[in-house]
Structure 1
Amino acid sequence: MSIQTEKLFCAEQIEVPLELPEILKAFTKECIRAQPENLVEFAANYFAQMAQTGDSESNMSIEQFVALRQKFEEIDAENIFVLPRETITQVAIDSGISDATINNINSMGKPEKTMDWREFIVLAISVAAENMISAFELIFMTFASQEEPALPTNFFLLLVGFLISRDPSKPPEYMDQLREILETENDGAFKDQVTFEEFAALPIAETLR
Protein backbone atom coordinates (compact mmCIF):
# COMPACT_ATOMS: atom_id res chain seq x y z
CA MET A 1 0.00 0.00 0.00
CA SER A 2 1.46 3.36 -1.03
CA ILE A 3 1.20 6.44 1.17
CA GLN A 4 -0.51 9.30 -0.66
CA THR A 5 0.91 12.76 -0.15
CA GLU A 6 -1.74 14.74 -2.01
CA LYS A 7 -2.14 18.23 -0.56
CA LEU A 8 -5.35 19.20 1.20
CA PHE A 9 -6.79 22.60 0.38
CA CYS A 10 -10.11 22.57 2.25
CA ALA A 11 -11.88 20.79 5.08
CA GLU A 12 -14.24 19.06 2.65
CA GLN A 13 -11.31 16.99 1.38
CA ILE A 14 -10.77 15.44 4.81
CA GLU A 15 -12.53 12.15 5.41
CA VAL A 16 -11.53 10.56 8.72
CA PRO A 17 -11.86 6.75 8.67
CA LEU A 18 -14.31 5.60 11.32
CA GLU A 19 -11.79 3.27 12.98
CA LEU A 20 -8.95 5.82 13.09
CA PRO A 21 -9.76 7.40 16.52
CA GLU A 22 -9.87 4.01 18.27
CA ILE A 23 -6.66 2.84 16.56
CA LEU A 24 -4.82 6.01 17.56
CA LYS A 25 -6.22 5.86 21.09
CA ALA A 26 -5.01 2.28 21.52
CA PHE A 27 -1.60 3.11 20.03
CA THR A 28 -1.21 6.18 22.24
CA LYS A 29 -2.06 4.10 25.31
CA GLU A 30 0.65 1.58 24.44
CA CYS A 31 3.20 4.36 23.85
CA ILE A 32 2.45 5.91 27.25
CA ARG A 33 2.60 2.52 28.92
CA ALA A 34 5.81 1.33 27.23
CA GLN A 35 7.75 4.61 27.02
CA PRO A 36 9.86 3.20 24.14
CA GLU A 37 13.31 4.66 23.53
CA ASN A 38 12.75 4.40 19.77
CA LEU A 39 9.19 5.47 19.03
CA VAL A 40 9.39 4.82 15.28
CA GLU A 41 10.64 1.26 15.82
CA PHE A 42 7.96 0.69 18.47
CA ALA A 43 5.27 2.01 16.10
CA ALA A 44 6.51 -0.23 13.31
CA ASN A 45 6.33 -3.28 15.57
CA TYR A 46 2.94 -2.27 16.95
CA PHE A 47 1.27 -1.80 13.58
CA ALA A 48 3.03 -4.85 12.12
CA GLN A 49 1.42 -6.88 14.88
CA MET A 50 -1.95 -5.29 14.18
CA ALA A 51 -1.63 -6.08 10.48
CA GLN A 52 -0.55 -9.63 11.25
CA THR A 53 -3.14 -10.55 13.86
CA GLY A 54 -5.93 -8.02 13.42
CA ASP A 55 -6.91 -8.08 17.08
CA SER A 56 -4.23 -8.96 19.63
CA GLU A 57 -6.82 -9.80 22.28
CA SER A 58 -8.48 -12.47 20.15
CA ASN A 59 -5.09 -13.96 19.24
CA MET A 60 -3.57 -14.08 22.72
CA SER A 61 -5.60 -16.34 24.96
CA ILE A 62 -5.46 -17.07 28.66
CA GLU A 63 -4.43 -20.60 27.69
CA GLN A 64 -1.31 -19.17 26.04
CA PHE A 65 -0.38 -17.19 29.13
CA VAL A 66 -0.89 -20.20 31.41
CA ALA A 67 1.15 -22.41 29.06
CA LEU A 68 3.87 -19.76 28.96
CA ARG A 69 3.99 -19.65 32.76
CA GLN A 70 4.14 -23.43 32.99
CA LYS A 71 7.03 -23.63 30.52
CA PHE A 72 8.99 -21.02 32.43
CA GLU A 73 8.35 -22.91 35.66
CA GLU A 74 9.73 -26.09 34.08
CA ILE A 75 12.89 -24.31 32.92
CA ASP A 76 13.29 -22.36 36.15
CA ALA A 77 12.98 -25.30 38.53
CA GLU A 78 15.11 -23.55 41.18
CA ASN A 79 12.90 -20.41 41.13
CA ILE A 80 15.68 -18.05 40.12
CA PHE A 81 13.13 -16.19 37.93
CA VAL A 82 15.73 -14.16 36.01
CA LEU A 83 16.59 -15.74 32.66
CA PRO A 84 18.56 -14.69 29.56
CA ARG A 85 16.49 -12.70 27.07
CA GLU A 86 17.27 -15.26 24.39
CA THR A 87 15.74 -18.02 26.52
CA ILE A 88 12.65 -16.00 27.30
CA THR A 89 12.18 -15.10 23.64
CA GLN A 90 12.46 -18.72 22.52
CA VAL A 91 9.99 -19.93 25.14
CA ALA A 92 7.56 -17.20 24.07
CA ILE A 93 7.89 -18.20 20.40
CA ASP A 94 7.33 -21.85 21.29
CA SER A 95 4.18 -20.79 23.18
CA GLY A 96 2.74 -19.06 20.12
CA ILE A 97 3.44 -15.45 21.10
CA SER A 98 3.91 -13.44 17.91
CA ASP A 99 7.24 -11.89 16.95
CA ALA A 100 5.63 -8.44 16.90
CA THR A 101 4.38 -8.85 20.48
CA ILE A 102 7.78 -10.05 21.64
CA ASN A 103 9.45 -7.09 19.93
CA ASN A 104 7.00 -4.71 21.57
CA ILE A 105 7.79 -6.14 24.99
CA ASN A 106 11.53 -6.06 24.37
CA SER A 107 11.31 -2.42 23.31
CA MET A 108 9.79 -1.38 26.66
CA GLY A 109 12.36 0.38 28.80
CA LYS A 110 16.10 -0.15 28.64
CA PRO A 111 17.26 -3.37 26.98
CA GLU A 112 18.86 -5.82 29.41
CA LYS A 113 20.51 -9.17 28.74
CA THR A 114 18.37 -10.83 31.40
CA MET A 115 14.77 -10.44 32.53
CA ASP A 116 12.40 -11.78 35.15
CA TRP A 117 10.16 -14.15 33.20
CA ARG A 118 7.21 -13.20 35.39
CA GLU A 119 7.63 -9.59 34.23
CA PHE A 120 7.66 -10.77 30.60
CA ILE A 121 4.33 -12.52 31.11
CA VAL A 122 2.82 -9.46 32.81
CA LEU A 123 3.95 -7.21 29.94
CA ALA A 124 2.54 -9.68 27.40
CA ILE A 125 -0.74 -9.50 29.30
CA SER A 126 -0.64 -5.70 29.17
CA VAL A 127 -0.35 -5.88 25.38
CA ALA A 128 -3.37 -8.17 25.14
CA ALA A 129 -5.59 -6.46 27.71
CA GLU A 130 -8.17 -3.87 26.71
CA ASN A 131 -7.44 -1.75 29.77
CA MET A 132 -5.61 -1.90 33.08
CA ILE A 133 -8.37 -3.63 35.05
CA SER A 134 -8.57 -6.31 32.36
CA ALA A 135 -4.81 -6.77 32.71
CA PHE A 136 -5.23 -7.28 36.45
CA GLU A 137 -7.89 -9.93 35.82
CA LEU A 138 -5.64 -11.75 33.33
CA ILE A 139 -2.81 -11.66 35.87
CA PHE A 140 -5.00 -13.51 38.37
CA MET A 141 -6.18 -15.99 35.75
CA THR A 142 -2.58 -16.69 34.70
CA PHE A 143 -0.86 -16.97 38.06
CA ALA A 144 -3.71 -18.30 40.23
CA SER A 145 -5.97 -21.29 39.56
CA GLN A 146 -9.64 -22.22 39.65
CA GLU A 147 -8.98 -24.38 42.69
CA GLU A 148 -7.15 -21.55 44.47
CA PRO A 149 -8.21 -18.24 42.87
CA ALA A 150 -6.43 -16.09 45.47
CA LEU A 151 -2.86 -14.86 45.11
CA PRO A 152 -0.58 -14.19 48.07
CA THR A 153 -0.78 -10.44 48.59
CA ASN A 154 2.98 -9.87 48.37
CA PHE A 155 3.15 -11.87 45.13
CA PHE A 156 0.21 -9.95 43.71
CA LEU A 157 1.96 -6.67 44.55
CA LEU A 158 5.13 -7.92 42.85
CA LEU A 159 3.23 -8.66 39.63
CA VAL A 160 1.38 -5.35 39.78
CA GLY A 161 4.71 -3.60 40.26
CA PHE A 162 5.92 -4.98 36.94
CA LEU A 163 2.87 -3.48 35.28
CA ILE A 164 2.77 -0.13 37.08
CA SER A 165 6.49 0.52 36.56
CA ARG A 166 5.79 0.73 32.82
CA ASP A 167 2.77 3.00 33.22
CA PRO A 168 3.77 6.65 33.78
CA SER A 169 0.12 7.61 34.20
CA LYS A 170 0.26 6.09 37.69
CA PRO A 171 1.99 8.24 40.36
CA PRO A 172 5.09 6.84 42.14
CA GLU A 173 3.12 6.44 45.36
CA TYR A 174 0.48 4.20 43.72
CA MET A 175 2.11 0.97 44.89
CA ASP A 176 2.41 2.24 48.47
CA GLN A 177 -1.26 3.22 48.42
CA LEU A 178 -2.27 -0.18 47.06
CA ARG A 179 -0.21 -2.02 49.68
CA GLU A 180 -1.70 0.05 52.50
CA ILE A 181 -5.24 -0.56 51.25
CA LEU A 182 -4.72 -4.32 51.01
CA GLU A 183 -3.24 -4.42 54.51
CA THR A 184 -5.95 -2.33 56.17
CA GLU A 185 -9.17 -2.69 54.14
CA ASN A 186 -11.89 -4.84 55.69
CA ASP A 187 -9.94 -5.18 58.95
CA GLY A 188 -6.89 -6.53 57.13
CA ALA A 189 -8.78 -9.33 55.37
CA PHE A 190 -6.51 -9.05 52.32
CA LYS A 191 -3.21 -8.77 54.20
CA ASP A 192 -2.14 -12.32 53.30
CA GLN A 193 -4.02 -13.11 50.08
CA VAL A 194 -6.56 -11.57 47.71
CA THR A 195 -8.76 -12.65 44.79
CA PHE A 196 -9.51 -10.60 41.70
CA GLU A 197 -13.13 -10.16 42.77
CA GLU A 198 -12.02 -8.79 46.14
CA PHE A 199 -9.52 -6.45 44.51
CA ALA A 200 -11.99 -5.27 41.85
CA ALA A 201 -14.46 -4.28 44.59
CA LEU A 202 -11.95 -1.88 46.19
CA PRO A 203 -12.26 1.85 45.38
CA ILE A 204 -8.67 1.97 44.07
CA ALA A 205 -9.64 -0.44 41.29
CA GLU A 206 -12.01 2.18 39.86
CA THR A 207 -8.97 4.19 38.73
CA LEU A 208 -7.99 1.32 36.43
CA ARG A 209 -11.23 1.05 34.44
Structure 2
Amino acid sequence: MPLPETIFCGQQIKIPPELPDILKQFTKAAVRTQPCDVLQWAAAYFSALSKGEPLPVKERVEMPLATVKAEVGLTPGFLRVLHNQLSSKGTVSVIELKEKWKNLCLPDKQLEVILQVDDFGEEVEWMKVLALGCSTLGESLLSSMEHACKILTKDPEGGAAPVTFETFSFLYSYLASIDGEIPEEETEAFLTRIKEQADQQTGMVLLRNFLTQPSAKF
Protein backbone atom coordinates (compact mmCIF):
# COMPACT_ATOMS: atom_id res chain seq x y z
CA MET A 1 0.00 0.00 0.00
CA PRO A 2 1.57 3.32 -1.06
CA LEU A 3 2.34 5.87 1.63
CA PRO A 4 0.07 8.88 1.66
CA GLU A 5 1.53 12.04 0.19
CA THR A 6 2.82 14.48 2.77
CA ILE A 7 0.92 17.74 2.70
CA PHE A 8 2.65 20.88 3.90
CA CYS A 9 1.04 24.18 4.78
CA GLY A 10 2.62 27.55 5.35
CA GLN A 11 2.58 27.09 9.10
CA GLN A 12 4.62 23.86 8.85
CA ILE A 13 7.49 25.33 6.77
CA LYS A 14 9.98 27.29 8.83
CA ILE A 15 12.46 29.46 6.97
CA PRO A 16 15.58 30.39 8.97
CA PRO A 17 15.40 34.14 9.52
CA GLU A 18 18.96 34.72 8.29
CA LEU A 19 18.51 32.74 5.05
CA PRO A 20 17.01 35.52 2.87
CA ASP A 21 19.87 37.93 3.63
CA ILE A 22 22.51 35.21 3.10
CA LEU A 23 21.08 34.38 -0.31
CA LYS A 24 20.74 38.05 -1.20
CA GLN A 25 24.37 38.80 -0.34
CA PHE A 26 25.51 35.66 -2.18
CA THR A 27 23.63 36.66 -5.31
CA LYS A 28 25.05 40.20 -5.25
CA ALA A 29 28.56 38.78 -4.75
CA ALA A 30 28.15 36.41 -7.69
CA VAL A 31 26.99 39.25 -9.93
CA ARG A 32 29.95 41.42 -8.94
CA THR A 33 32.53 38.66 -9.28
CA GLN A 34 31.19 36.96 -12.44
CA PRO A 35 32.89 33.56 -11.79
CA CYS A 36 33.13 31.29 -14.83
CA ASP A 37 32.34 28.27 -12.62
CA VAL A 38 29.58 29.32 -10.25
CA LEU A 39 29.45 26.02 -8.34
CA GLN A 40 33.17 25.93 -7.65
CA TRP A 41 33.20 29.58 -6.64
CA ALA A 42 30.07 29.13 -4.49
CA ALA A 43 31.73 26.32 -2.55
CA ALA A 44 34.69 28.61 -1.80
CA TYR A 45 32.35 31.48 -0.93
CA PHE A 46 30.34 29.58 1.67
CA SER A 47 33.45 27.88 3.05
CA ALA A 48 35.06 31.28 3.66
CA LEU A 49 31.79 32.65 5.05
CA SER A 50 31.48 29.81 7.56
CA LYS A 51 35.09 30.32 8.72
CA GLY A 52 34.88 34.11 8.93
CA GLU A 53 37.61 34.47 6.28
CA PRO A 54 37.81 37.14 3.53
CA LEU A 55 35.35 36.23 0.81
CA PRO A 56 36.42 35.56 -2.81
CA VAL A 57 34.36 38.53 -3.98
CA LYS A 58 35.19 41.50 -6.18
CA GLU A 59 34.26 44.94 -4.90
CA ARG A 60 32.42 45.77 -8.12
CA VAL A 61 31.69 44.41 -11.60
CA GLU A 62 34.90 44.68 -13.58
CA MET A 63 35.08 45.79 -17.19
CA PRO A 64 37.68 43.89 -19.27
CA LEU A 65 40.96 45.70 -19.85
CA ALA A 66 41.76 46.51 -23.46
CA THR A 67 45.35 45.38 -22.83
CA VAL A 68 44.36 42.01 -21.36
CA LYS A 69 43.42 39.09 -23.58
CA ALA A 70 40.09 37.46 -22.79
CA GLU A 71 41.68 34.07 -22.18
CA VAL A 72 44.28 35.36 -19.73
CA GLY A 73 41.97 35.12 -16.75
CA LEU A 74 43.76 37.28 -14.17
CA THR A 75 42.44 40.83 -13.79
CA PRO A 76 43.10 43.67 -11.33
CA GLY A 77 39.85 42.79 -9.58
CA PHE A 78 40.84 39.15 -9.06
CA LEU A 79 44.32 40.19 -7.95
CA ARG A 80 42.77 42.49 -5.35
CA VAL A 81 40.60 39.61 -4.09
CA LEU A 82 43.70 37.45 -3.67
CA HIS A 83 45.47 40.31 -1.90
CA ASN A 84 42.60 40.70 0.54
CA GLN A 85 42.73 36.96 1.26
CA LEU A 86 46.50 36.46 1.53
CA SER A 87 48.29 39.72 2.33
CA SER A 88 47.82 39.49 6.10
CA LYS A 89 49.88 36.28 6.14
CA GLY A 90 52.93 37.78 4.47
CA THR A 91 54.29 34.40 3.39
CA VAL A 92 51.92 31.73 2.11
CA SER A 93 52.34 28.16 0.97
CA VAL A 94 52.12 27.42 -2.73
CA ILE A 95 49.40 24.90 -1.90
CA GLU A 96 47.21 27.58 -0.32
CA LEU A 97 47.94 30.03 -3.13
CA LYS A 98 46.89 27.44 -5.72
CA GLU A 99 43.71 26.73 -3.76
CA LYS A 100 42.72 30.42 -3.64
CA TRP A 101 43.61 30.76 -7.31
CA LYS A 102 41.47 27.77 -8.23
CA ASN A 103 38.55 29.09 -6.15
CA LEU A 104 38.46 32.13 -8.44
CA CYS A 105 38.38 29.81 -11.48
CA LEU A 106 41.65 31.27 -12.82
CA PRO A 107 43.79 29.25 -15.27
CA ASP A 108 46.31 26.95 -13.54
CA LYS A 109 48.83 27.54 -16.32
CA GLN A 110 48.92 31.26 -15.65
CA LEU A 111 49.89 30.75 -12.02
CA GLU A 112 52.54 28.22 -13.04
CA VAL A 113 54.09 30.80 -15.36
CA ILE A 114 54.11 33.42 -12.59
CA LEU A 115 55.74 31.08 -10.09
CA GLN A 116 58.41 30.07 -12.61
CA VAL A 117 59.62 33.65 -12.98
CA ASP A 118 61.34 33.57 -9.58
CA ASP A 119 63.06 30.83 -7.63
CA PHE A 120 60.13 30.12 -5.32
CA GLY A 121 60.06 27.07 -3.08
CA GLU A 122 57.12 25.60 -1.21
CA GLU A 123 56.33 29.02 0.26
CA VAL A 124 56.12 32.41 -1.45
CA GLU A 125 56.25 36.00 -0.31
CA TRP A 126 52.82 37.31 -1.25
CA MET A 127 53.95 40.81 -2.24
CA LYS A 128 56.33 39.32 -4.80
CA VAL A 129 53.52 37.27 -6.30
CA LEU A 130 51.39 40.41 -6.37
CA ALA A 131 54.14 42.25 -8.21
CA LEU A 132 54.49 39.47 -10.78
CA GLY A 133 50.73 39.39 -11.19
CA CYS A 134 50.74 43.12 -11.91
CA SER A 135 53.52 42.60 -14.46
CA THR A 136 51.24 40.24 -16.41
CA LEU A 137 48.64 43.01 -16.55
CA GLY A 138 50.98 45.88 -17.45
CA GLU A 139 52.86 46.51 -20.68
CA SER A 140 55.74 48.27 -18.95
CA LEU A 141 57.30 48.65 -15.53
CA LEU A 142 55.38 51.85 -14.88
CA SER A 143 52.03 50.44 -15.99
CA SER A 144 52.66 47.39 -13.78
CA MET A 145 53.28 49.73 -10.85
CA GLU A 146 50.12 51.64 -11.73
CA HIS A 147 48.12 48.43 -11.38
CA ALA A 148 49.86 47.68 -8.07
CA CYS A 149 49.06 51.11 -6.63
CA LYS A 150 45.40 50.89 -7.65
CA ILE A 151 45.13 47.44 -6.06
CA LEU A 152 46.90 48.39 -2.83
CA THR A 153 45.48 51.85 -2.18
CA LYS A 154 42.79 52.44 0.42
CA ASP A 155 41.45 55.46 -1.47
CA PRO A 156 38.32 55.34 -3.66
CA GLU A 157 38.69 54.30 -7.28
CA GLY A 158 39.72 57.07 -9.65
CA GLY A 159 41.78 58.97 -7.09
CA ALA A 160 45.51 59.48 -6.64
CA ALA A 161 45.92 55.86 -5.42
CA PRO A 162 48.52 56.68 -2.75
CA VAL A 163 50.75 53.93 -1.34
CA THR A 164 53.68 54.17 1.05
CA PHE A 165 57.10 54.78 -0.45
CA GLU A 166 58.41 51.65 1.30
CA THR A 167 55.84 49.48 -0.49
CA PHE A 168 56.35 51.21 -3.83
CA SER A 169 60.13 50.93 -3.55
CA PHE A 170 59.98 47.22 -2.72
CA LEU A 171 57.70 46.35 -5.65
CA TYR A 172 59.54 48.55 -8.15
CA SER A 173 62.98 47.26 -7.14
CA TYR A 174 61.78 43.67 -7.27
CA LEU A 175 60.25 43.96 -10.74
CA ALA A 176 63.31 45.82 -12.02
CA SER A 177 65.58 43.04 -10.72
CA ILE A 178 63.38 40.38 -12.29
CA ASP A 179 63.60 42.16 -15.63
CA GLY A 180 67.38 41.94 -15.42
CA GLU A 181 68.04 44.56 -18.08
CA ILE A 182 67.45 47.69 -16.03
CA PRO A 183 70.72 49.08 -14.62
CA GLU A 184 70.76 49.26 -10.83
CA GLU A 185 71.84 52.91 -10.91
CA GLU A 186 68.80 53.73 -13.06
CA THR A 187 66.48 52.09 -10.54
CA GLU A 188 68.14 53.95 -7.67
CA ALA A 189 67.94 57.29 -9.48
CA PHE A 190 64.25 56.78 -10.25
CA LEU A 191 63.42 55.86 -6.63
CA THR A 192 65.42 58.84 -5.35
CA ARG A 193 63.25 61.19 -7.40
CA ILE A 194 60.09 59.43 -6.22
CA LYS A 195 61.17 59.62 -2.58
CA GLU A 196 61.72 63.36 -2.84
CA GLN A 197 58.15 63.73 -4.05
CA ALA A 198 56.81 61.26 -1.47
CA ASP A 199 58.48 63.20 1.35
CA GLN A 200 56.26 66.12 0.38
CA GLN A 201 53.18 63.87 0.65
CA THR A 202 53.78 62.46 4.14
CA GLY A 203 55.68 59.52 2.71
CA MET A 204 53.04 58.53 0.16
CA VAL A 205 53.62 57.93 -3.55
CA LEU A 206 50.88 59.28 -5.83
CA LEU A 207 50.06 58.07 -9.33
CA ARG A 208 50.61 61.45 -10.93
CA ASN A 209 54.08 61.68 -9.38
CA PHE A 210 55.59 58.58 -10.93
CA LEU A 211 53.66 58.10 -14.18
CA THR A 212 55.37 61.18 -15.62
CA GLN A 213 58.82 59.93 -14.65
CA PRO A 214 61.07 58.28 -17.27
CA SER A 215 61.57 54.57 -16.62
CA ALA A 216 62.80 51.58 -18.57
CA LYS A 217 60.14 49.29 -20.00
CA PHE A 218 59.88 45.50 -19.85
Instruction: Please classify the TM superposition score into its range, dividing by the shorter chain length.
Output: 0.5 to 0.7
Who is 2:121 aligned against? 112
In the alignment, the residues of structure 1 paired with residue 153 and residue 91 of structure 2 have an alpha-carbon distance, to the nearest angstrom, of: 20
**5+ long unaligned stretches in structure 2:** 1-67
In the alignment, the residues of structure 2 paired with residue 183 and residue 156 of structure 1 have an alpha-carbon distance, to the nearest angstrom, of: 10
**5+ long unaligned stretches in structure 1:** 1-53
Which one-letter code corresponds to 2:195 in the other structure? E
Give the structure, 1 or 2, with the largest relative contact order (CA under 8 Å, sep 6 or more). Answer: 1
Who is 1:63 aligned against? 77
Q: Which has the higher helix share?
A: 1
Residue 193 of structure 1, CA deviation: 0.8
TM-score (structure 2 length as normaliser): 0.59
Task: Provide the secondary structure at the position in 2 that maps to 1:86.
Answer: helix
Who is 2:188 aligned against? 176
Which one-letter code corresponds to 1:91 in the other structure? K
1:200 aligns with 2:199: no
Query: Structure 1 vs Structure 2: percent identity of aligned residues?
Result: 13
In the alignment, the residues of structure 1 paired with residue 127 and residue 141 of structure 2 have an alpha-carbon distance, to the nearest angstrom, of: 17
1:29-108 matches, cutoff 5 A: 55=69, 59-73=73-87, 76=88, 80-108=89-117
1:158 aligns with 2:170: yes
TM-score (structure 1 length as normaliser): 0.61
1:139-154 matches, cutoff 5 A: 139-147=148-156, 149-154=161-166
**Aligned pair count?**
148
Label 1:59 to 1:110 Cα distance change in 2 as closer, same or farther (>3 A): closer
Which one-letter code corresponds to 2:81 in the other structure? A
Structure of larger gyration radius: 2
Q: Conserved in 2, the CA contact under 8 Å of 1:151 and 1:193?
A: yes
RMSD between aligned residues: 2.6
CA offset digits 1:99-125 (Å, max 9, x no partner): 111010111132312111111121112
Task: Provide the secondary structure at the position in 2 that maps to 1:83.
Answer: strand
Residue 181 of structure 1, CA deviation: 1.2
Q: Conserved in 2, the CA contact under 8 Å of 1:153 and 1:191?
A: no
Label 1:111 to 1:149 Cα distance change in 2 as closer, same or farther (>3 A): closer
CA offset digits 1:16-42 (Å, max 9, x no partner): xxxxxxxxxxxxxxxxxxxxxxxxxxx
In the alignment, the residues of structure 2 paired with residue 61 and residue 191 of structure 1 have an alpha-carbon distance, to the nearest angstrom, of: 30
Residue 194 of structure 1, CA deviation: 1.0
Q: Conserved in 2, the CA contact under 8 Å of 1:101 and 1:124?
A: no
Task: Provide the secondary structure at the position in 1 that maps to 2:100.
Answer: helix
